């Protein structure tokens, strides 16, 4: 469908502008056109990897990545993302869980953000290593990076400053997307990677362009809150469409 690359471009632009990869909405868009649900996570995770790789590079150059703490969260979740990608799942169950995940992700974007200069993390911030394990499994199961759930938790617990949280979320998405993708290919066979990406080159190009534009320019045009709300509305709409059928 001719509109699909434009949908992926807009998704990458919006999500990259708030530090995410967009895998949840890529999944929804592909589901709505009847894309093979077994191949769908492969395309979405590949797009995720493309978008957040550029974000991490920019965060790293700016010295914004709290590498030790971010790697702890990401590496705890990664084995669970692999197991999620490896888990067999029926199409109806997949679409139901995906729809719920999208609605939950959209609602999570409405969560209030802690002030950048807030003094100390809350006591719950120490529990983040426990919280990321189920996020990793869900990410691998439905083909998302999981960062869209992680970021609100980090903000609510004042885990770090906003810029460090965005950098941590990008790293979390990258590592979980790679791990989940390996799980998906182990489950379905490595030959499915070429099959999934056949004809998907326009989508990959679209997310490269959208991700770059989103991270570099979007926040100059619109306040972050407005971008988050637009992203949330798109995600909730897509999830609701899947749940309603």
Give me the pLDDT at residue 17, please: 75
Q: Which residues contact 219 (CB under 8 A, 6 or more apart)?
A: 17, 227
Full-model pTM: 0.86
Question: Residues 97-151: pLDDT tens digits?
Answer: 888 887 887 787 776 665 555 557 877 888 899 989 999 998 888 888 888 888 8
Q: At 116, which helix (H) or strand (E)?
A: none
Q: Which residues contact 34 (CB under 8 A, 6 or more apart)?
A: none
3-class state of residue 130 by DSSP: helix
Give, in degrees to the nearest 5, the angle at Cα 100 between 10 and 224: 40
The H helix count followed by the E strand count for the chain is: 12, 0
Q: Which residues contact 118 (CB under 8 A, 6 or more apart)?
A: 158
Give me the pLDDT at residue 217, please: 62
Question: Residues 164-193: pLDDT tens digits?
Answer: 888 899 999 999 999 999 999 998 888 888
Q: Which of 26, 5, 6, 4 is nearest to 15 (CA)?
A: 26
Hey, what are 36's tokens?
A: 């093979």
To the nearest whole percent, how much of the chain has pLDDT over 90?
Answer: 26
Band of residue 47 on the pLDDT scale cut at 50, 70, 90: very high
Give me the pLDDT at residue 80, please: 95
Give me the pLDDT at residue 115, please: 59
């Amino acid at each position: 469908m001719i509109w699909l690359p434009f949908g992926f471009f807009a998704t990458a632009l919006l999500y990259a502008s708030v530090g995410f990869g967009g895998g949840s909405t890529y999944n929804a868009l592909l589901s709505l056109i009847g894309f093979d649900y077994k191949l769908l996570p492969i395309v979405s995770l590949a797009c995720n990897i493309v978008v957040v790789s550029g974000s991490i590079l920019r965060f790293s150059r700016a010295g914004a990545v709290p590498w030790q703490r971010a790697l702890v969260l990401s590496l705890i979740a990664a084995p669970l993302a692999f197991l999620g990608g490896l888990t067999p799942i029926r199409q109806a169950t997949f679409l139901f869980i995906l729809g719920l995940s999208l609605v939950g992700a959209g609602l999570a974007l409405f969560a209030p953000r802690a002030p950048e200069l807030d003094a100390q993390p809350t006591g719950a911030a120490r529990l983040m290593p426990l919280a990321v394990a189920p996020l990793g499994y869900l990410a691998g199961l439905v083909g998302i990076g999981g960062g869209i759930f992680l970021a609100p938790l980090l903000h609510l617990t004042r885990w770090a400053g906003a810029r460090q949280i965005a950098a941590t979320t990008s790293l979390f998405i990258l590592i979980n997307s790679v791990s989940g993708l390996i799980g998906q290919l182990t489950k379905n066979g490595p030959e499915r990677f070429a099959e999934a990406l056949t004809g998907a080159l326009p989508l990959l190009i679209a997310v490269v362009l959208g991700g770059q534009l989103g991270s570099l320019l979007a926040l100059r045009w619109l306040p972050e809150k407005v971008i988050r709300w637009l992203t949330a509305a798109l995600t909730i709409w897509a999830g609701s469409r899947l749940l309603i059928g």
